[in-house]
Amino acid sequence: MRQIIALLLALVAIPTSAAGIATPPRPTRAAAPLKPRIVWDPIPFGNQRKQEMVAYVRRHYGSFMRPTWRLTDPQVIVIHYTDSPTFQSTWNTFASDTPDPELHELPGTCAHFVIDTTGTIYQLVSLTTMCRHTVGLNWTAIGIEHVGFSDAQVLGDQRQVTASLKLVYWLRCRFHIQIKNVIGHNESLSSPYHHEDVASLRNQTHSDFNHADMQVYRRRLRALGGCAGR
* Interacting residues toward Zn ion by CB under 5 A: 80, 185, 206, 208
Q: How far is the CB of 149 from Zn ion (least distance, A)?
A: 12
Nearer to Zn ion, 90 or 227 (CB): 90
**Minimum gap (Å) between residue 27 Cβ and Zn ion:** 41
User: 3-state DSSP call for residue 122?
Assistant: strand
Q: How far is the CB of 205 from Zn ion (least distance, A)?
A: 9
142 in helix, strand or coil?
strand
- Judged by beta carbon, residue 187 or residue 208, the one nearer Zn ion is 208
Q: Give the list of residues 6+ apart from residue 148 with CB closer than 8 angstroms, or none.
A: 81, 82, 117, 154, 157, 160
Tell me whether residue 33 or residue 109 sits nearer to Zn ion (CB atom): 109
| CA-to-CA dists, residue 153 to 56, 146, 164, 209, angstroms | 33, 10, 13, 11
Give the closest residue to 113 by CA, choosing from 88, 152, 146, 140: 146
**Phi, psi (degrees; rounded to nearest 5) at 183:** -125, 160
| CB of 128 vs Zn ion, minimal distance in Å | 22
Contact between 75 and 183 (Cβ < 8 Å): no
> At closest approach, how far in Å is the CB of 86 from Zn ion?
17
166 vs 185, beta carbon nearer Zn ion = 185
Give CA separation, 202 vs 6, 59, 96, in Å.
75, 13, 26
Is 84 or 117 the residue whose CB approaches Zn ion more closely?
84
